[in-house]
Amino acid sequence: MRLRFSGGAFELDPGESVLDGLARHGVRLPAACRAGACHGCLVRAVHGLPGPPSQAGLKNSWRADGYFLACLARPVTDLTIALAGDELPAGDEMLAEAAVASVRPLGTGVLKVAIRPQQPVAFRAGQHLALRRDGGVVRVYSIANTPAEAARDGIEFHVRVYQGGAMSSWLAAAAPGAQISIGQPNGDCCYLPGQPDGPLLLAGTGTGIAPLAAVLRDAIRHGHAGPAVLIHGAADPSGLYLGAGPPACCGPATPGSVRWRTCVRSGGEDIAEVVCRELTPLGDPAAVHAYLCGGRRAVSRMRRSLFLAGMTLRNICADEFRQASS
Amino acid sequence: MTTQTSLYERLGGSAAIDAATELFYRKVLADPLLAAYFDDVDMDRQIAKQAAFLTMALGGPNAYTGRDLRAAHAALEGIRDEHVDRVLVHLAQALRDLGVAEADIAAAGAVADSVRDDVLNR
């Protein structure tokens, strides 16, 4: 078996673990227990299959993305791996060319931008991808619609426009047909079919609500029938760009069991408390799956309070927005 | 470290560690004395470290070294014996919640306590 990692190729002996094989070639991954407990040697299969034992005990979303534990993986086929957390470098590895299809205002300071790639781009609802415009500026945006919707309408994003924003103000002025490059879709804040009756809690701050509404529509399309609550957090009332009432974002086929809730910080509400309040009526917290998206601090506070309220971390998928560095 | 069946194996190995780790981590995070030290960590990564710690305390397979622990705690300002004591209390209570016998809890606590000097960088 041949293992490819970080530009090198390494032969594995039959029955040898990925961790041991790499170590034999002088490549040391962080590892403590070598028995699947510490998750120190978490890596990701980019091509090839690591085998089910190496994925036992990992978050479902991580399994779906090819994450596995190098200490437990004894692959029987060639395998290409990457370090956990390594995403394709935005800007260097663009996937496709696309054209801006439409740009329209959605609410105060937020645009709905649709783009059409020249060739179909596979993604899952809830993922994000990098956009690169003329001039080399790259920004990552969450995808606001589902693959089925994107096939019809183009891939959509909810873009907050910042004054002087290198990408957002360019998009605000972009004419239909403007060319843009897109990167590989990434992220694991995605619905995983398999528990159609399980309760869902989705909470996003700012434009973080957009991918989560798509995740919920995707879940419903997959036949999800369990109760769900979708929570939109905003700094002040003007940030509720989808409106204060239940948005059409849940789709026309919204079952009665979907609740919509807003949380406005200037109104004295704390999103970390609101998510816990909304968790209670969903029943046993350990059975709830949560999806969180938005600013880093808000997401991290929500995750902590949901965990303290009894949710299991494995059932919390989160996508934190990172501030652009240039 | 022992030829007898370890508590780790008797509890059910890595599957049982998951449940125990969440119980333990929740208690640590809910403790006002300790919580602030976990403010800026990636919880998914942190819980894996808690699992490794618990695995070690329960006599499971591990290659924990004093150096790892020293490095991991070196940047934490102001940690003292008091913090380690509280962590040990939460470890014991998590195991108690899972129905582990007091003798085993004491044994796990002693193993966990054996790395105190590494954690406190002494």
pLDDT tens-digit series, residues B55-92 = 888 888 766 666 677 887 888 888 999 999 999 999 99
- What ipTM is given for this predicted complex? 0.80
Q: What share of chain B is helix, strand, coil (3-state, %, to 5)?
A: 70, 0, 30
pLDDT band at A88 (very low <50, low <70, confident <90, very high): very low
Q: Is the minimum CB–CB distance between B97 and chain A shorter than 8 Å?
A: no
Task: Encode pLDDT of A146-178 as tens digits.
Answer: 999 999 999 999 999 998 899 999 999 999 999
Does the residue B4 lie in any domain? no
Task: Give the A:B interface size as CB pairs under 8 Å.
Answer: 68
Share of chain A above pLDDT 70, in %: 91
Note whether B60 contacts A35, CB cutoff 8 Å: yes
Q: How many domains does chain B have?
A: 1
pLDDT band at A266, cuts 50/70/90? very high
The pLDDT, as a whole number, for residue A256 is 58
Residue B63 lies in a domain: yes
| pLDDT tens figures, A234-256 | 999 999 998 766 666 555 555 55
- List chain B residues with CB under 8 Å of A59: 44
User: What is the chain B residue with the closest CA to A312?
Assistant: B22
Averaged pLDDT score across all residues of chain A? 87
Domain A94-183 adopts which CATH fold?
Elongation Factor Tu (Ef-tu); domain 3 (2.40.30)
Nearest CA in chain A to B27: A308
- The distance of A114 to chain B (nearest Cα, Å) reads 33
Closest CA to B101 of B24, B26, B11: B11
Q: Which chain B residues touch A312 with a CB distance below 8 Å?
A: 22
Give the DSSP letter of residue A54.
Answer: G
| Residues of chain B with C-beta less than 8 angstroms from the C-beta of A40 | 48-49, 52
CATH 3.10.20.30 domain extents, chain A: 2-83
Q: A200-321: what CATH class? A: alpha beta
**Does the pTM of the predicted model rise above 0.90?**
no
Strand ranges for chain A from DSSP E:
2-5, 8-11, 42-47, 67-69, 79-83, 94-107, 110-117, 128-132, 138-142, 155-160, 179-183, 200-205, 228-234, 258-264, 289-295, 316-321
When pLDDT is averaged across residues B88-102 and rounded to a whole number, the result is 93
Q: Is residue B5 a part of any domain in this protein?
A: no
Pick the CATH number of A2-83 from 3.40.640.10, 3.10.20.30, 3.30.930.10, 3.40.50.10860: 3.10.20.30
- Please give the residue of chain B at the shortest CA–CA distance from A308: B26
Partner-chain contact A32 B47, CB within 8 Å:
no
Q: Please indicate whether, in this complex, the C-beta atoms of A57 and B22 are within 8 angstroms of each other.
A: no
Task: Inform me whether the C-beta atom of residue B1 falls under 8 Å from chain A C-beta atoms.
Answer: no
In sequence order, what are the residues at sequence separation of 6 or more whose Cβ sits closer than 8 angstroms to the Cβ of residue A54? A18, A36, A68, A69, A70, A72, A73, A74
For the stretch A127-149, pLDDT in tens is 999 899 988 888 899 999 999 99
Least confident of A38-52, A128-142, A198-212: A38-52
Domain with CATH 2.40.30.10 in chain A: 94-183
3-state secondary structure of B31: coil
CA distances from A105 to A72, A112, B121 (A): 50, 6, 56
Q: Do A304 and B43 touch (CB under 8 A)?
A: yes
Q: Does A296 touch chain B (CB under 8 A)?
A: no
Taken as a whole, chain A contains a residue count of: 326
B14 and A32 within 8 Å at the Cβ level: the answer is no
pLDDT in tens, A54-70: 887 777 777 877 889 99
